[in-house]
């Protein structure tokens, strides 16, 4: 990679002790040379979507900040838990707001998905629901490889992903994503 590739990470959990945030916080050290990963503005500041608010006041500043960060990035990596086999409400709410922006920042944007869960499946099911939402947004979601960090509580230490096998999966995912962004990114 000759130029720096700017990747935005969006964490689907608001929890201070979030396993997914620990995973997100481990991405930079596992990224290939030339990939710079920054965290998105918090989705926790985004109000619950209300079409009346949109009609009266337009897009809230917290949504505009997220959309601008997506637009400025070469690619986006979601790192999210699975809630009830699907997308956490806060993340879905953020995407519902961003979907209303006419100059759609996700359109044609390369996207990767990583999930972590204390359960054995590592949030496998949310990945397909999130993909479905991103179809409407016209994002370019990388199909493979996939990253599911199962039993995640046992694979983190001091706020970082420490399990060697998992670190290899994540680093391979980011290397593949760098290639994907190079091939399909704008
Ligand atoms: C409302 C809710 C629903 C959940 N549903 C699932 C689920 O469907 N699958 C799963 O693996 N874990 C589920 N969990 C457990 C989460 O994976 C676990 O709380 C995880 O630590 C949340 O991610 P975080 O640590 O990044 O906040 C659920 C947790 C909550 C609070």
CA of 58 to the centre of ligand 1 (A): 32
Q: Is the pTM here over 0.95, yes or no?
A: yes
pLDDT of 175 higher than 70: yes
pLDDT in tens, 89-139: 999 999 999 999 999 999 999 999 999 999 999 999 999 999 999 999 999
Q: What is the CATH number of the domain that holds 45?
A: 3.40.50.360
Token pair, residue 183, equals 């091939």
Confidence label for 47 from pLDDT (cuts 50, 70 and 90): very high
Residue 1 is predicted with a pLDDT of: 43
Q: How many residues does the chain have?
A: 186
CA of 120 to the centre of ligand 1 (A): 12
Pocket of ligand 1, candidates 90, 91, 117: which has the most ligand atoms within 8 Å of its Cβ, to mutate?
117
Residue nearest to atom 20 of ligand 1 (CA): 117
Residue 162 is predicted with a pLDDT of: 98
Query: How many domains does the structure of the chain reveal?
Result: 1
Distance CA 164, CA 30 (A): 11
pLDDT of 69 higher than 70: yes
Peptide bond into 170 cis (omega under 30): no
Residue 3 is predicted with a pLDDT of: 77
Torsion of CA 89, 92, 93, 94, to 10 degrees: 130
Q: Which domain holds residue 19?
A: 5-184
CB 171 within 8 A of CB 164: no
């Amino acid at each position: 990679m000759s130029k720096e590739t700017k990747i935005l990470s969006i964490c689907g959990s608001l929890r201070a002790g979030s396993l997914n945030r620990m995973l997100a916080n481990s991405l930079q050290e596992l990224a290939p040379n030339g990939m710079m990963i920054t965290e998105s503005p918090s989705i926790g500041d985004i109000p619950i979507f209300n079409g009346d608010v949109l009609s009266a006041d337009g897009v809230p500043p917290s949504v505009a900040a997220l959309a601008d960060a997506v637009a400025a990035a070469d690619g986006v990596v979601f790192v999210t838990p699975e809630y009830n086999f699907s997308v956490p409400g806060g993340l879905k709410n953020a995407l519902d707001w961003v979907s209303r922006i006419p100059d759609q920042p996700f359109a044609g944007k390369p996207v990767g998905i990583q999930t972590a869960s204390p359960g054995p499946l590592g949030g496998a099911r949310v990945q397909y629901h999130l993909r479905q939402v991103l179809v409407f947004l016209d994002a370019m979601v990388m199909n493979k490889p996939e990253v599911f960090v199962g039993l995640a509580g046992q694979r983190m230490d001091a706020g970082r992903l420490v399990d060697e096998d998992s670190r290899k999966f994540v680093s391979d995912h980011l290397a593949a994503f760098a290639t994907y962004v190079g091939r399909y990114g704008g």
